[in-house]
Amino acid sequence: MSRARKVLDWLDERAGIYALWDQAANEPVPGGARLRYVFGSVLVYLFMQQVVLGIVLASYYSPSATDAWASVAHLQDQVTAGWFLRGLHGHGASAMVVVLVLHLVQVVWAGAYRKPRELNWWTGLAMGGLVFAFALTGYLLPWDQKGYWATQVATGILGSVPGGEPLRILLQGGHEYGNLTITRFFALHVFVLPGLLLLLLVAHIGLFRRHGVTPPAHLSESELARADRFIPHQIFYDVLAMAVTAGILVAWTIRSHGAELFAPAQPASNFPARPEWYFLFLFQLLKYFEGPLVLVGTVVIPGAATAFLVALPFLDRAQSRRPKERMPVLAGMGALLAGVVALGVAAKVEDAGDEAFQKALAEARAEAERARALAAGGVLPEGGEAVFRNDPQYEARRIYAERCAGCHGRFMEGGDDAPALVDFGSRAWLARLVRNPRAPEFFGKTEHDTMDPYSPEDLPDDQLAAVVEYIVSTMGDEIAPPADPALAAKGKKLWEDELECNSCHEIEAGAEGDGPNLYGHGTVAWIAGLIANPKDPRYFGEEAQMPAFGEKLDEAEIQALARLVAAQRASGAKAGASAGQHD
């Protein structure tokens, strides 16, 4: 007797495991094993996988409004296979919805909701509802823009139904979203819902074992008499279906690189909120009803559909399970599914054709990418949006507000005695300056008045454009679009041979003149040099009114400020295109 057998015998004497095994393994499958019976087993597999994956995710997750996003970003982008496991969990939820519908369709087609299986049907429906509750609560947990705004819609609906407001406040733990919202959703998602689902699952499987499978109605007595055992016949089909599901799930997860994670939730922003695809039909339904009819979309229609499903065992008056005799019920079910699919497709189609939505989505994705890249350096304990403080430009803005805004204006719009910095150094800016250097946006509010305006009579537009292009051509690759060599060459010729610019301005690197040297004007290096010491002969010399910051700020800070100013160019210079735009 092998040692394993001894252990098993020991256990059997005490727990009767052989009998339990017999029961489980040898359950007869009347009419033979069939592929159409696999959906329940696949759902059990998916649920178990969700539980195990959920435990792994929970071991890297922190349910607080400050920590949640950063912890998910850490899991997604740092932890080994984190993105894959999170993706498998997210897509696993989608797979559960798909298989749930297949299971439902199979059950309805087979008439398995009929007497004596009404309780199987109802426990199944309840579990289906729980799957959607899982999806809803899980969606919020990353505390990213998508989850935050989509869930706002769901709790908003709850608050809008009669008597729903106290429920909404209870569910979200207050009048607004915050720490209590996330702890509550977390508790529901990982404790309450799994517990309920497990209880229902035990009941559902127990009832299933009591009544057995529901073979196709057309089988004869003798066909039904030919039974397979659960093991190995049915279980082979079951595991085969699980393997196919797992294969699709893995492929899908790798292809999509896991579940999307948007930028951290920003309550003051707006976001093109969309729910998960399987909620789109409900989302779409909301668009058709206004005013007092809103409840039709949020409560009446979904409620009627649910009532139809619950009442199905009573609505079905047919004499047998044969589909032919149950046409009204099957037609109702078909209409329901068709409606759900049609609404979902309509939502997708509308979004696909909605340019504003697509643009907002693209922007949200770009912001997400930026936030996640910044999160790699660790997020300050303030959490969430604080990730953007890792951006060097954030630091530059802070210094700007402290050191520069007093004269140049909070939004770089210019102040009482200093020029504006908006669009600094662009082609249009240079051209405007030449036409009128004494405008308020340039030197009008300063004491620099040496340069005379050049009217179109003195300097025709085409010559101005050529000269501007010549100056711009000294910026190297920092200007976009790149300089036009032919036009720049024309400008160089004008500069050297015809115009009088060069009587004040040098345009050779390092040369000193009466006016600022324009070589590389507007580049980060040029601006940094100016900030460090405007009195340098290459800039304004002794006439400079702006203080020299070279002694007050360190080199990195000056560079950051220079990049910030360069980024104000509307033409989109390379340095820091992500800078915020101000009016």
Partner 1 sequence: MPAPAYQPGRTGRFRVTFAAVEPSLETPMPHDRDDAPPAPEVPDAAGGPSAASGDVPRRRFLLGATGLLGAGVAAAAGVPIVGAAVYPLDHEVTSGGGDFIPAGPSGAFGDDPVRVDLHADRRDAWNRFEDVRVGSAWVLRLEGRLVAFSTVCPHLGCAIDYDPKARRFVCPCHNSVFELDGTVVEGPSPRPMDRLDVRQEEKLVQIRYQRFKQGVKEKVPL
For partner 1, the closer CB: 240 or 577: 240
- 567 binding partner 1? (CB under 8 A): no
| Cα distance from N-terminal residue to C-terminal residue, the chain | 86
- 249 binding partner 1? (CB under 8 A): yes
Q: Which residues contact 148 (CB under 8 A, 6 or more apart)?
A: 140, 177, 265, 267, 271
How far apart are alpha carbons 218 and 483 in whole angstroms? 79
Q: Does residue 464 contact residue 436 with C-beta atoms inside 8 Å? A: no
- 80 binding partner 1? (CB under 8 A): yes
Q: Report the DSSP beta bridge partners of residue 510.
A: none
332 C-beta neighbours (distance < 10 Å), count: 18
CB of 94 to partner 1, least distance (A): 15
CB of 81 to partner 1, least distance (A): 4
For partner 1, the closer CB: 229 or 438: 229
Q: What would you report as the CA-atom Rg of the chain, rounded to the nearest whole angstrom?
A: 35
- 228 binding partner 1? (CB under 8 A): yes
Stretch that binds partner 1, among 204-212, 238-246, 474-482, 549-557 (CB under 8 A): 238-246
Angle separating helix axes 118-140 and 179-187, nearest 10 degrees: 150
Stretch that binds partner 1, among 232-240, 312-320, 414-422, 465-473 (CB under 8 A): 232-240
Q: Which residues contact 356 (CB under 8 A, 6 or more apart)?
A: none
Greatest alpha-carbon span in the chain: 111
Stretch that binds partner 1, among 374-382, 481-489, 503-511, 525-533 (CB under 8 A): 374-382
- 528 binding partner 1? (CB under 8 A): no
How far apart are alpha carbons 368 and 145 in whole angstroms? 9
Token pair in block for residue 422? 């908006």
- 243 binding partner 1? (CB under 8 A): yes
Q: How far is CA 399 from CA 239, 405, 532, 554, in A?
A: 62, 9, 14, 11
Candidates 140, 265, 379, 483; binder of partner 1 (CB under 8 A) is 379
DSSP strand pairing (28-30 vs 227-229): antiparallel
Q: How far is CA 337 from CA 308, 331, 332, in A?
A: 12, 10, 9
- 300 binding partner 1? (CB under 8 A): no
- 60 binding partner 1? (CB under 8 A): yes
- 25 binding partner 1? (CB under 8 A): yes
Candidates 100, 171, 190, 246; binder of partner 1 (CB under 8 A) is 246
CB of 579 to partner 1, least distance (A): 23
Candidates 98, 105, 231, 489; binder of partner 1 (CB under 8 A) is 231
- 18 binding partner 1? (CB under 8 A): yes
Residues written for the chain? 583
How far apart are alpha carbons 244 and 499 in whole angstroms? 77
For partner 1, the closer CB: 222 or 319: 222
The site map against partner 1 for 163-192 (x = CB under 8 A) is: ------------------------------
For partner 1, the closer CB: 81 or 342: 81
Candidates 175, 210, 218, 226; binder of partner 1 (CB under 8 A) is 226
- Compute the Cα dihedral for 536, 539, 545, 548 and give only its sign: negative
What DSSP string runs through 475-504? TGGGSSSPP-HHHHHHHHHIIIII-SGGGT
- 255 binding partner 1? (CB under 8 A): no
- 144 binding partner 1? (CB under 8 A): no
Stretch that binds partner 1, among 104-112, 145-153, 375-383, 547-555 (CB under 8 A): 375-383
Q: How far is CA 581 from CA 421, 497, 568, 578, in A?
A: 12, 39, 7, 9
- 47 binding partner 1? (CB under 8 A): no
What are the phi and psi torsion angles at 228 (to 5°)? -100, 160
Candidates 7, 15, 20, 52; binder of partner 1 (CB under 8 A) is 52
How far apart are alpha carbons 95 and 107 in whole angstroms? 18
For partner 1, the closer CB: 231 or 346: 231
- 214 binding partner 1? (CB under 8 A): no
Token pair in block for residue 377? 């350096």
Q: Please, which of residues 319-358 interact with partner 1 by CB under 8 A?
A: none
- Nearest-5° Cα angle at 242, 236 to 245: 145
- 71 binding partner 1? (CB under 8 A): yes
Candidates 236, 267, 354, 452; binder of partner 1 (CB under 8 A) is 236
Q: Which residues contact 276 (CB under 8 A, 6 or more apart)?
A: 93, 94, 135, 139, 150
The DSSP letter of residue 264 is B
Stretch that binds partner 1, among 72-80, 124-132, 401-409, 484-492 (CB under 8 A): 72-80
Cis omega before residue 460 (within 30°)? no
- 239 binding partner 1? (CB under 8 A): yes
Stretch that binds partner 1, among 158-166, 222-230, 357-365, 488-496 (CB under 8 A): 222-230
- Nearest-5° Cα angle at 123, 118 to 129: 130
Stretch that binds partner 1, among 219-227, 297-305, 410-418, 548-556 (CB under 8 A): 219-227
Stretch that binds partner 1, among 16-24, 141-149, 184-192, 525-533 (CB under 8 A): 16-24
- 229 binding partner 1? (CB under 8 A): yes
Candidates 35, 342, 349, 401; binder of partner 1 (CB under 8 A) is 35
- 28 binding partner 1? (CB under 8 A): yes
SS (H, E, C) 548-560: CCCCCCCHHHHHH
Which residues contribute to the site for partner 1 (CB under 8 A)? 5, 8-9, 12, 18, 21-23, 25-28, 31-33, 35, 45, 49, 52-53, 56, 59-60, 62, 67, 70-71, 73-75, 78-82, 84-85, 88, 222, 225-229, 231-233, 235-237, 239-240, 242-243, 246-247, 249-250, 375, 377-381
